[in-house]
Amino acid sequence: MTSTIHGRRAALALLALLACAPPAAAQVGTVAPLPYPGWVPADGVAPTLSVEVSYGHVPGMWRYRYTLANGAGAAQDIWQLGFRLGGWVAQVGTPAGWFPIADTEATYDPAGPGIPGVEFLADIPDTSPGDFYPPSPHQVPPGSSLPGFEFHSPYPPGYVRAWAQGYAPVPFPPDPERGDTIEPNPVPHDTLNAQRLTTIGPFTYTGVVTRGNLNVDTGEGFLGFMNLAVSGAVLRAPAPVALKLSVGGETVFPETFRALLNGVDVTAQFHPGTAGGADLAALFALGALPLREGDNVLVTTIEGLLPGTTRRAIDEDVIQFRVVP
Amino acid sequence: MIPRSRRNPIPLLLACALAACTPDRVAGPGVRGPSPQVLRTLQEAGTPDGAAVVLESRDDEGAELRSVGIAFEAQSSPSGPVAVTVHPNGGYRGAPSPRHIHNANPTRRATFTVTCIVNGVPQSVASARIDSVRQRNYGVPVGGHGSAHDFSNTGTGRPRGRWSPDAGEAPGGVFPSTLTAEIAGGDEKIVVWWEVTDANSPCAGMKDSKEFRSVVRVPGLVPVPRDANVALSPPSSNHPGPTFWYLHPGATGPTVRMAAAHRQAFGTPLLLTAAGMAQGGINDIRNNWNRPHAEHRVGMEIDVDEQANNSMSRLRAIAAMGVRAGFAACELHGEPVRNHVHCRLRPYR
């Protein structure tokens, strides 16, 4: 089977793998050769994340609050939750018994090595009953959920990746310092040895998809859409909308910005983003009017000065997009 | 330009020698005349100033100088520039192991070329024999390993590379061989002994030896960044000074990033207890050229002390910080208990 597993140990390892094998949707999939005898994947979880996003609890900050659930069909408890984020965070909150590792303004470096974002670890006892990490009394068993994962960020909401890892009493890898002579194969990275999902989190928008479609004069650049296209876009709920003001350097008057979603004034739901990214952003959830599943219509207006003149004009755009649950 | 013949009286002396004169200075039964082979060689060389060369190269008694030489790629002496640089092998002593090599090549093919040097002019030989080629330690300490180590050239001393073949016939004076490096980084010297077996060579039967400098090294390692969030454990007399705080350039960024996360989470710097040696190779904390710490060879691994009584929760958090910071994996190591986090930049295979 592999060069590192032989005989009875190989059989035991295979049995252990099969016993803990997650459903067909497992993230890790077939691992051959095994990293070392006794290793089992930690992707036997069925995570879902629900998110609440609000603005201004801390001045200038978006607040992201998550509830982590583990499906009843999961084979493992969840003991680790990670986010790859497009911005730094502050004031991280955790459920009782969880420990955060977070990139703040001082450490966030999207161009640097590693994974920028936040990770939550369920606290474990300080001592182990064996040569493996002990389980945490705070991990999330199948069929249950845990609220309280929270952070604040100046970065507006966008789609981000997350992953949840399960717990198994996986023996520590062979260690030459202990005299182990077996040579382990690579262990899958934490982000692969888990179930991955997409959620909403701090995000850096970098480009304007369209400037809209109604204006025929030079005021079209007063407002740009950073994640919606004229020809239609599909968003998974909750749906973020990110806007850029003064795309071409025009003088605009932000206080004149208005937004109607399906005929309902949603101007107040737009809040500032970060410099260099989205200037205004909002997050619309299904079940809370006016967003609806399927087709939606967003109408925006904003006033500005036509380039090279002192003449005031209005940039009005109508954008259609589709929302799926 | 002053003609060479005007610079000294050598042409005159040469003329006397060739005419069997016996000038005062070179007279006597001990004087040997140029051998017919030497003269033929010089004639064939067609050197316009050849006669002067002959006498200039004579020894004090007027005899022509002959020696055997050996060419080995970039020429060097033990104290000179490096002739050979080779990556340390990845295994334990004498047993290479692919997972530690990280795609480096710990072998080096090379060719020794034996020549006959007559009056400073190398001449090829039809045959020679390499009596032995050996790697020897060049100075102690070396490679960042302190005086507690055994630097002898014996089986228990510092591991040195091996040539294969390390002896044999050299047709045309050419002897190809391959150096396989050992696990320890640092300076070594190549010592080669040879003999000219070409009966028609002026150097027939002559033997000599020569040393070249070679270095076992992981090239390009850089010092661990001097960062306020990174603390280094005190040096030991066995690995003195800063020579064991080196990393692969790709490992510096993750180390600094991991240290920032550590500072943020625990308020203390990341305490490194091991990295790589300045020249790479085995980082043997027990001074015996062997495990443990056999993995810290190419600057891609660091060890981190958790500073809190071997707390499992803290060790796990530090390991997670390392992976988030860009290390491929961070594991718990330690004997008899798992007491530190070992992070590696790349998977082993």
DSSP assignment of B160-176, as one string?
Answer: --EEES-SEEEETTEEE
CA–CA dist B155, B161 (Å, integer): 12
**Residue ranges in chain B whose pLDDT is less than 50:** 1-35, 38, 42, 45-57
DSSP state of B314: H
Yes or no, beta carbons of B257 and A114 under 8 Å apart: yes
* Segment A136-188, tens digit of pLDDT: 999 999 999 999 999 999 999 999 999 999 999 999 988 877 778 777 788 88
CA–CA dist B193, A282 (Å, integer): 81
Yes or no, beta carbons of A177 and B293 under 8 Å apart: yes
Say if residue A2's pLDDT is above 60.
no
User: Does the CB of A121 have a partner CB in chain B at under 8 Å?
Assistant: yes
For all residues of chain A together, what is the average pLDDT?
Answer: 88
Contacts of A101 in chain B (CB under 8 A): 261, 265, 317, 320-321, 324
**Would you state the pLDDT for residue B327?**
94
Lowest mean pLDDT, pick from A99-103, A190-194, B51-55: B51-55
Confidence of residue A215 (pLDDT cuts 50, 70, 90): low
Contacts of B314 in chain A (CB under 8 A): 126
* Segment A245-280, tens digit of pLDDT: 999 899 999 999 999 999 999 999 999 999 889 999
| Averaged pLDDT for residues A321-325 | 95
List residues of chain B with CB under 8 Å from any CB of chain A. Answer: 97, 99, 250, 253-254, 257, 260-261, 264-265, 291-295, 309, 311-314, 316-317, 320-321, 323-329, 331-336, 338, 342, 347-349
**Hey, of A98, A99, A101, A105, which one would you mutate to test binding to chain B, going by the most B CBs within 10 A of its CB?**
A101
Yes or no, beta carbons of A127 and B312 under 8 Å apart: yes
* pLDDT greater at residue A174 or residue A201: A201
Of B261, B327, B336, the CB nearest to A101: B261
**Would you state the pLDDT for residue A168?**
94
CA–CA dist A141, B162 (Å, integer): 58
Yes or no, beta carbons of B317 and A176 under 8 Å apart: no
Span between the terminal Cα atoms of chain B, in Å: 66
**Would you state the pLDDT for residue B6?**
33
| Averaged pLDDT for residues A222-227 | 94
Helix (H) or strand (E) holding B215: strand B207-216
CA–CA dist A64, A93 (Å, integer): 10
